[in-house]
Amino acid sequence: MTSWQGRRRFLGAALCGSVVACRSLGDSGNGRASGDEEAPVPRAQIDAAIAQLDTLVNQLMTTTGVPGMSVAVVRDLHPVYVKGFGTRRVGSGLPVDADTVFQLASVSKPVGAMVVAHQVGTGSVSWDTPVRAHLPWFALADQEVSEQVTIGDLYAHRSGLPDHAGDLLEDMGYDQTAVLQRLRYLPLAPFRRSYAYTNFGLTAAAVSVASAAGVDWATLSERALYQPLGMASTSSRYADFIARGNRATGHVRRNGQWVVGLDRMPDAQTPAGGVSSSANDMAKYLTMMLGTGMFNGTRVIDADALDAAISPQAQAHAAGNGRPASYYGFGFNVGTTESGRASYSHSGGFGSGAATNFVAVPSTGCAIVALTNGYPIGVPETLTAQFFDLVQFGTIKRDWLSIFSDALAGVIKPTGSLVGVAQPVSPFPARALKTYRGSYRNDYYGPVQISDAGGSLLMTIGATPLCLPLSHWDGDTITFTLVNENAAPGTISKASFLSNQVTLEYYNAEGLGTFVR
């Protein structure tokens, strides 16, 4: 995998919810903790935790400079704290409020999991329904796995697909169907015996569920979840997000300053990362979750289908180095807090400017969500961890910002083996440009065209397409740079020519980056 992809794991599953210490679930088997879970938390202690949120948010925003943030807390099935802070866009003067719409990034997964749970409750599908039952063209590298892989397998990231499979194809402009069709070229780890976090694997499962319902995923999400909960500002379509007057713009930090980032249009993986919502709407979602599928006296989600989603289905990370194992359900991180209470959670992040997190600890009666319009540096996770420390212990036990910012530091770093490497003072000369020109084929990534652009080389790749100037480095090693959702500024890749082929380092994560002329 590329180093960026490896680091991206923190954005979804590996943060294990910010209540962390995410202890092993031991013999509980169903996501429910033992020990102190039934011991009530003093109500005054929860009152005090809520009372400190203004201060905690303002401290985090002052320390990090993140432009905007919106927070909601649900307690005993009622929203008790919903506020916005900062600005929607730097320099605009437009304030964030409780109705400001943010991109949720991977928090879309647990939101979408409840759409699937709704369909499970109606009998349209089950978590064990094979994906091919309603998406017959879907295929992976192994025919037997293709036939057996279920909706639940893909929602639990246990299909064997490699980490973040298909994400680079999305960056190249391929649409949802094209990405899903190309997953069959990727090598598979052991089926149901391995875990790797994938946006497009989960997306395939969701598309199959929508196909069973006879509608597209965004429409199904509206009918099954958003409308019943009254989430009027929530959508699984990017066009709806862009059309909102009260929406947050994504930001990145450059030279110590927060600036507007690249637009992120995630429709290709919308079940995994394309939801946009507000703190007010997410409070309704969390109320339903804490209510085990009930909302305002009406059952929205079948309790058994919901319970399955928040039960441990795959071991996300093994125990080691003093850390316990962590688990993933169907679209949720599931575990226990340091005090032994069952929790479920998820983080989300876009390198172009979004970071989100929610945590629910049912035995406390509380859940919290934090939405920001800055790229992932640990801000929402820090707030939710601080809050649940205060709820459970009455004090903040760790320097959570340092913990999460260190864990996510790699997200903002450029990748490539030549990053920070000085070019040879006397490089070996390149051959004549005509030696490199031509069309090169790759089943997974599609064709690459190397052309002569007025005395220099230009590489054209992908469906958009990307047009990337090539620069000579040394001998037959040429380089190119790129900036997108998965390539931080400063990323540099080798294009290594050998005989009738070229290997592109950036695209060689699974050994599939060689293109043949």
**All structural domains of the chain:** 12-412 (3.40.710.10), 433-516 (2.40.128.600)
DSSP tag of 484: B
Alpha-carbon distance of 305 to 292, in angstroms, equals: 10
Alpha-carbon distance of 313 to 10, in angstroms, equals: 19
Q: Provide the pLDDT for residue 13.
A: 44
Q: Which two tokens stand for residue 457?
A: 């080389």
Q: Provide the pLDDT for residue 15.
A: 52
What are the two backbone dihedrals, phi and then psi, of residue 304, each rounded to the nearest 5 degrees?
-65, -40
Q: Provide the pLDDT for residue 39.
A: 85
Q: Provide the pLDDT for residue 234.
A: 98
Q: Provide the pLDDT for residue 240.
A: 98
Is residue 353 left, alpha or beta, with left meaning phi > 0 and alpha meaning psi from -120 to 50?
A: left
pLDDT tens digits, one per residue of 455-502: 999 999 999 999 999 999 999 999 999 999 999 999 999 999 999 999
Q: Mean pLDDT over all residues of the chain? A: 92
Q: Indicate whether this model's pTM tops 0.95.
A: no
What distances in angstroms separate CA 97 from CA 42, 82, 246, 354, 362, one per listed residue?
30, 9, 9, 16, 26
* Centroid of chain to Cα 120: 24
Instruction: Answer whether 404's CB lies under 8 Å from 381's CB.
Output: yes
pLDDT tens by residue, the chain, 517 residues: 233 333 444 455 445 433 333 332 223 334 443 444 568 999 999 999 999 999 999 999 999 999 999 999 999 999 999 999 999 999 999 999 999 999 999 999 999 999 999 999 999 999 999 999 999 999 999 999 999 999 999 999 999 999 999 999 999 999 999 999 999 999 999 999 999 999 999 999 999 999 999 999 999 999 999 999 999 999 999 999 999 999 999 999 999 999 999 999 999 999 999 999 999 999 999 999 999 999 999 999 999 999 999 999 999 988 777 777 899 999 999 999 999 999 999 999 999 999 999 999 999 999 999 999 999 999 999 999 999 999 999 999 999 999 999 999 877 789 999 999 999 999 999 999 999 999 999 999 999 999 999 899 999 999 999 999 999 999 999 999 999 999 999 999 999 999 999 999 999 989 999 999 9
Q: Provide the pLDDT for residue 23.
A: 30
- 21 burial level (CB within 10 Å; 0-12, 13-18, 19+): middle
Q: Provide the pLDDT for residue 22.
A: 34
